């Protein structure tokens, strides 16, 4: 019996599985009875621990099945690393990645935020250190392999990240640029039909947005 596809949602910086987009994704799966196994991990603050968590999850994959990734903001940066690991470890797997206003080279800016951080969903306080910044560098993927398996969604109104950097990095992938919006990706729920269209391997219908 073939296992159902695994859908991994990676949240952003100071976010959580309870984030709006993560929950909208779960509701969409349930509403349309999409046969995928969702996994929305609470990502550790330490990038080294994030790598360990995701690597252990991959090691548990002993049956070939599609693995789909949705990464928001910092989760998009991590998702790019994760897709590269799957392509290397399991080249036979169908792996597709959705990027939502993703961070590009975040370690270049995180030094500005050193010190006390507060998770906006859990209220947890923690310390961002230079060690975290250095660990982020180890997740960078400079050369994108299989860019055709990536869909980039950006909004020009992103007040946190420069969307043009993501467009440049993922220019060989499918790119959707929406005017306006914000860093949280306004009206993400309306983009979900397009997201799952791409994950299913079909050509996307941009008129759906």
pLDDT digits (tens, 9 = 90+) for 118-132: 999 999 999 999 999
Q: Give the tens place of pLDDT for each residue, 131-148.
A: 999 999 999 999 999 999
Q: What global pTM score does this model have?
A: 0.96
Tell me how far apart the alpha carbons of residues 27 and 175 are, in angstroms, rounded to a whole number.
25
What is the band of 63 on the pLDDT scale with cuts at 50, 70, 90? confident
Question: CA 164 to CA 132: how far, in whole Å?
Answer: 25
- In this structure, of 1-10, 47-56, 140-149, the range with the lowest mean pLDDT score is 1-10
pLDDT in tens, 160-189: 999 999 999 999 999 999 999 999 999 999
Say if CB 36 and CB 5 are below 8 A apart: yes
With a cut of 80, say whether residue 208 has pLDDT above it. Answer: no
Kindly list the domain boundaries of the chain, sorted by start residue.
6-208
CATH assignment of 6-208? 3.40.50.1820
């Amino acid at each position: 019996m073939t296992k159902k596809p695994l859908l991994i949602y990676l949240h952003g910086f100071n976010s959580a599985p309870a984030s709006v987009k993560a929950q909208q994704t779960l509701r969409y799966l349930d509403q349309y009875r999409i046969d995928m196994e969702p996994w929305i991990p609470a990502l550790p603050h330490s990038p080294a621990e994030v790598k360990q968590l995701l690597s252990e999850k991959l090691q548990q994959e002993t049956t070939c099945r599609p693995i789909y990734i949705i990464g928001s903001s910092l989760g998009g940066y991590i998702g790019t690393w994760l897709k590269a690991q799957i392509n290397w470890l399991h080249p036979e797997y169908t792996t597709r990645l959705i990027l939502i206003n993703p961070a590009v080279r975040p370690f270049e800016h995180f030094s500005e935020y050193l010190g006390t951080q507060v998770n906006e969903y859990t209220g947890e306080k923690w310390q961002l250190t230079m060690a975290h910044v250095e660990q982020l560098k180890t997740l960078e993927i400079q050369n994108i392999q299989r860019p055709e398996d990536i869909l980039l969604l950006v909004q020009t109104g992103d007040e946190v990240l420069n969307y043009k950097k993501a467009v440049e990095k993922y220019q060989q992938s499918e790119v959707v640029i929406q005017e306006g919006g914000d860093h949280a990706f306004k009206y993400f729920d309306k983009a979900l039909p397009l997201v799952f269209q791409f994950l299913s391997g079909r050509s996307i219908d941009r008129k759906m947005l």
